[in-house]
Amino acid sequence: MTGRGVALVTGAAGGIGRAIAMELAAQKHHVVLGDLDLEAVSVIEQAIRTAGGSATAVPLDVTSQESRAKVIRLCDEDLGGLNTLVNCAGVLQDSLIERMPLAMFSRVLEINLVSPLALIAETVDLMRRSGGGAIINIASRAWLGIFGSTAYGTSKGGLVGASRALALELGRDGITVNCIAPGFIETDMSASLPPKVREATLASLAVRRAGQPSDVATAVAFLAQAPYCTGQVLPLCGGRSIGTPTISLPTATK
Mind giving me the DSSP string for 72-130?
HHIIIIIT----EEEE---------GGG--HHHHHHHHIIIIIHHHHHHHHHHHHHHHT
Confidence bin at 94 (pLDDT 50/70/90): confident
- Give the C-alpha separation, 230 to 175, whole Å: 9
Q: Is residue 90 part of a domain?
A: yes
Count of alpha carbons within 13 angstroms of residue 44, beta-carbon side: 32
Q: Is residue 238 part of a domain?
A: no
Q: CB atoms < 10 A from the CB of 28, how many? A: 13
Q: Is residue 243 part of a domain?
A: no
Confidence bin at 96 (pLDDT 50/70/90): confident
User: What percentage of the chain has pLDDT greater than the value 70?
Assistant: 94
- Give the C-alpha separation, 122 to 65, whole Å: 9
Q: Is residue 239 part of a domain?
A: no
Q: Residue 242: what pLDDT?
A: 76
> 43 — phi, psi (to 5°)?
-65, -40
Number of separate domains in the chain: 1
- The C-alpha torsion from 174 through 90 and 27 to 3, rounded to 10°, is 50
Q: Is residue 157 part of a domain?
A: yes
SS3 179: strand
Q: Residue 111: what pLDDT?
A: 97
pLDDT (mean) for 191-214: 84
Q: Residue 247: what pLDDT?
A: 55
Q: Is the pLDDT of residue 179 over 70?
A: yes
Confidence bin at 209 (pLDDT 50/70/90): confident
Q: Is the pLDDT of residue 204 over 90?
A: no
Confidence bin at 174 (pLDDT 50/70/90): very high
Q: Is the pLDDT of residue 244 over 70?
A: no
Q: Is residue 250 part of a domain?
A: no
Q: Is the pTM of this model over 0.75?
A: yes
- Give the C-alpha separation, 45 to 9, whole Å: 12
Question: What distances in angstroms separate CA 186 from CA 37, 176, 214, one per listed residue?
Answer: 21, 28, 10
Residues marked active site are found at 152
DSSP annotation of 187: S
* Average pLDDT over the chain, rounded to an integer: 91
Q: Is residue 26 part of a domain?
A: yes
Tens-place pLDDT, residues 57-87: 999 999 999 999 999 999 999 999 999 999 9
Tens-place pLDDT, residues 98-112: 888 989 989 999 999
Q: CB atoms < 10 A from the CB of 222, how many? A: 16
Q: Is residue 251 part of a domain?
A: no
More confident residue, 88 or 249: 88
Continuous segment of H or E residues that includes residue 23 = helix 15-26
- Give the C-alpha separation, 40 to 17, whole Å: 11
Q: Is the pLDDT of residue 173 over 70?
A: yes
Tens-place pLDDT, residues 111-125: 999 999 999 999 999
Count of alpha carbons within 13 angstroms of residue 30, beta-carbon side: 15
Domain that holds residue 78: 6-229
Return the CATH number at 195.
3.40.50.720
